[in-house]
Amino acid sequence: MAAPAETLIGMSGGVDSSVCALLLVQAGESVAGLFMQNWSDDGSGECRAEDDRRDALAICGRLGIPFHARDFSKAYWDGVFEHFLAEYRAGRTPNPDVLCNREIKFKTFLDEARALGATRIATGHYARIDRRGGLWRLLRGADPGKDQSYFLHQLGQEQLAATRFPIGHLPKAEVRRMAREAGLPTAAKKDSTGICFIGERDFRSFLAQYLPARRGEIRSVDGQALGEHEGVFYYTLGQREGLALGGVKGRPQAPWYVVDKDVAGNILYVDQGSESRFLMSSRLVAIEASWTAGQAPADVFECTAKTRYRQADEPCRVEMDGDGRLAVRFERPQRAVTPGQSVVFYAGVECLGGAVIESTDAPVDELERGSG
């Protein structure tokens, strides 16, 4: 029997993992590919997954490397999706990509790689890993428009030591060019979008299958009933679309934004102005901190942070409170910092780790609570 491959590549059927495989094969490394299926239903997601599996198989065939396929949908359901729903039920907005990386791509997949005799995994993420002073470091991807370190911040030393990101130093355009030049059938394939492994679909109707709609009142911050929402879960802080408020008598003609969700009272609070003071916060408290180095840089430190993926870094000061909780204070007020999302810390190009946002100092306590 042939010796097992040293590196198992996560083959999604997309262009990024195709080029990963290409680069490792060109470098003469011992590699195999694995396609994981993490979601099964009878909807549109199924055909897409089947197409992706076929593309992943075709690339492995083309490059002459072994191909494996595994169904991890139970691990995905238990480790990612249940948590995702619980967070929505609690009125928070979770980040499934962060969880999926921690639970599936860098746990279940890594375990499977080891079971197949590999010592490492490789994926087509736009991030880099290096080693300094005996520690593995997670670095931003070189293409600033594609950097995925935000979603990878929960990787620790064990995962970083066992992972490679072969395209993290390349711009996306270069990855596509390489794929075209090598004649890979995935060269022009569209980037995947939507929730990790569930794919792109009408988010509200998807969520409604699991969290039944419970209509309730949309209320202005000064207490006026303005309309009806379809269920507080379906909205996120700072959101403007989908409120169907139009012009409200006696109010300026300006768009309304979600500024708070009162889950117990089933009320959605809105305000006018994208920078409403109810959306702005300079401080947040975060829980479940994890650090790429295995521990925080210090009990108190200054760095930059992002509270959402598509955001520029903002200077802040981080303080541990000994309980695994962090108090983060930004130099400038931040807009729509959202409980359930991750705050991710950076020192220059290095991603230090992150935590889950629990609360902020946006003045939503001033809003009248209750169902009446």
Ligand X SMILES: Nc1ncnc2c1ncn2[C@@H]1O[C@H](COP(=O)(O)OP(=O)(O)OP(=O)(O)O)[C@@H](O)[C@H]1O
Rounded to a whole number of angstroms, the minimum distance from the CB of residue 57 to ligand X is 11
Pick the closer one to ligand X by CB: 51 or 288.
51
Nearer Cβ to ligand X (192/266)? 192
111 contacts ligand X (rule: CB under 6 A): no
Closest among 127, 133, 129, 72 to 103, alpha carbons compared:
72
- What DSSP character marks residue 289? E
For residue 329, give every residue at least 6 positions away whose Cβ sits within 8 Å of its Cβ, in sequence order, or none.
282, 283, 316, 317, 319
- 3-state secondary structure string, 175-229? HHHHHHHCCCCCCCCCCCCCECCCECCCHHHHHHCCCCCCCEEEEECCCCEEEEE
Tell me if 178 sits within 8 A of 147, measured CB to CB.
no
Of 254, 249, 284, give the one whose Cα is nearest residue 364: 284
Q: Which is nearer to ligand X, 52 or 271 (CB)?
A: 52
| Tokens standing for residue 136 | 């593995």
Q: Which residue has the tokens 């991030």?
A: 127
- Among 24-32, 119-127, 152-160, 283-291, the segment contacting ligand X (CB under 6 A): 119-127
Query: Residue 220's closest CA among 168, 256, 171, 262?
Result: 256
- Contact flag: residue 10 with ligand X (CB under 6 A): yes
- How far, in Å, CA of 265 to CA of 244, rounded? 21
Contact between 162 and 188 (Cβ < 8 Å): no
Residues β-bridged to residue 121: 8, 163
From 6-14, 233-241, 313-321, 357-365, span contacting ligand X (CB under 6 A): 6-14
Residues 165-224 that bind ligand X (CB under 6 A): 191-192
Quick check: 290 binds ligand X (CB under 6 A)? no
Query: Using CB under 6 A, which of 5, 8, 12, 362 touches ligand X?
Result: 12
Is residue 150 within the footprint of ligand X (CB under 6 A)? no
**17 contributes a contact to ligand X by CB under 6 A:** yes
The answer to whether residue 47 is catalytic is no
Known catalytic residue at 316? no
Given 20, 47, 60, 100, the catalytic residue:
100
State the nearest-atom distance from the C-beta of 351 to ligand X, in Å: 16
Q: Which of 15, 59, 60, 357 binds ligand X (CB under 6 A)?
A: 15
Query: Which among 28-36, 88-96, 225-233, 350-358 is the span making contact with ligand X, rule CB under 6 A?
Result: 28-36
Q: Per the annotation, does 143 bind a ligand? A: no
- 88-107 positions binding ligand X, by CB under 6 A: 105
Q: Which residues carry a binding-site annotation for ATP?
A: 10-17, 36, 124
Report, as residue numbers or ranges, the catalytic residues. Answer: 100, 196
Chain positions contacting ligand X, by CB under 6 A: 10-12, 14-17, 34-36, 105, 123-125, 191-192
